[in-house]
Structure 1
Amino acid sequence: MNAKKAVLILVVVFLGFWMFTDPSGMAEASKSAAAGTWSLAEDLFRAVIRFFGALV
């Protein structure tokens, strides 16, 4: 359990450091990650719709 807390603290410290040293870079990385996640979600929903459409 202590290792998980240590890793979480390191991630939070890293993200805080990144936010204060390069806020525009962090914003761009967040924007591209969100766009990629949305694209994957769209692909998943299309696949589910095709699957249920094939069942009918």
Structure 2
Amino acid sequence: METPSMDAKKLIGVVVIVFLGFWMFTDPNGLASTSKTVGAEGWDLATQLFTGVIDFVGALG
């Protein structure tokens, strides 16, 4: 038996997939540009996080 929160998660997933599909067909260049920007920002944040963790662990020793 599924809980109501599982139904909500599935619904949100379907809505996101439909939205991305619609965006891909109506403005593929905009989606590509946004994806590239989000990917670059995500990589920068991950780099900052791991650098901070490395510096913290190094300061402990």
TM above 0.5, yes or no, is: yes
The residue that corresponds to 2:7 in the other structure is 2
In structure 1, the residue matched to 2:35 is: 30
**Unpaired stretches in structure 2, ≥5 consecutive residues:** 1-5
* Equivalent residue, structure 2, for 1:11: 16
RMSD of aligned Cα (Å): 1.0
Instruction: Give the Å deviation of 1:7.
Output: 1.8
Rounded to whole Å, the distance in 2 between the matches of 1:2 and 1:32 is: 31
Give the TM-score, by structure 1 length: 0.88
Please give the secondary structure, in 2, of the residue aligned with 1:3.
Answer: helix
Aligned to 1:44: 49
Q: How many residues align?
A: 56
1:10 Cα offset (Å)? 1.2
